[in-house]
Amino acid sequence: MTQLENELQALKKELIQMWDLVYSQLDKARMSLINFDQTLAREVIQKEKRINGYELKIDTDCENIFALHCPVAVDLRFVLAALKINYNLERIGDYAEGIARYVIALQTPFNENILKETQLLAMQDKAIHMLENARYAFEKEDFAKARTIFQQDETLDLINKYAGNILLSFVENDIHYFQEALYAHSIIQKSERIGDQITNIAGEIIFYLEAKVLKHRKENTKN
């Protein structure tokens, strides 16, 4: 195995470690919301620095690979995809932190009817499932799994589309729901953006794997 191959494997391993941390952050933000656990929400905020540390390390590793090895073809695509996935994961971490901050800002747990009618928790479940699928597609190089993420994102878009009117009706019926509705709407918007980031990740996985498939086809043709 060449030095470049070793470094690419190490880069992939590092990205997966970052992925697991981001997944944990998103899941804990969700659990803090469900259980109104402000201690858990604070833990999410504190661990955000670890995600930022991963992002800086991976950026530096990619820059070093470019400088030392000048990768081409499939290897180049992988490093470019890694750079963008790194950015997307960091953004998801930011959104998880943002959700946790709303949990801390709340004086009381969310009204159950608001959570149910807006499908806020279902939206978060879907986002976490999408992130898990994207990780699997990246680690196992599963082209088909990556493609399923685009359709899953449509669910988040629909929930976000109708949430505003649902929350407005709560406020119109009782102005005391105003602050809660505002926070719920912000969390829903963040969840929708998480879906967008995961969709971007899926696109990068496909970008890289398409080149790998073409490479294997060429090698098989030569043989």
Consecutive 10-residue averages of pLDDT for the chain (223 residues): 91 97 98 96 97 97 93 90 97 98 94 95 96 96 92 93 95 93 96 97 91 54 50
Residue 95's pLDDT is 98
Structural domain including 120 reads 3-222
Residue 210's pLDDT is 82
Residue 213's pLDDT is 54
CATH number for the domain spanning 63: value is 1.20.58.220
Output the pTM of the full model.
0.92
Rounded to the nearest 10°, the torsion over CA 49, 54, 59, 61 is 140
Residue 209's pLDDT is 87
Give the count of domains, the chain: 1
Residue 218's pLDDT is 45
Task: Phi first, then psi: give them for residue 22, nearest 5 degrees.
Answer: -65, -40
Residue 219's pLDDT is 54
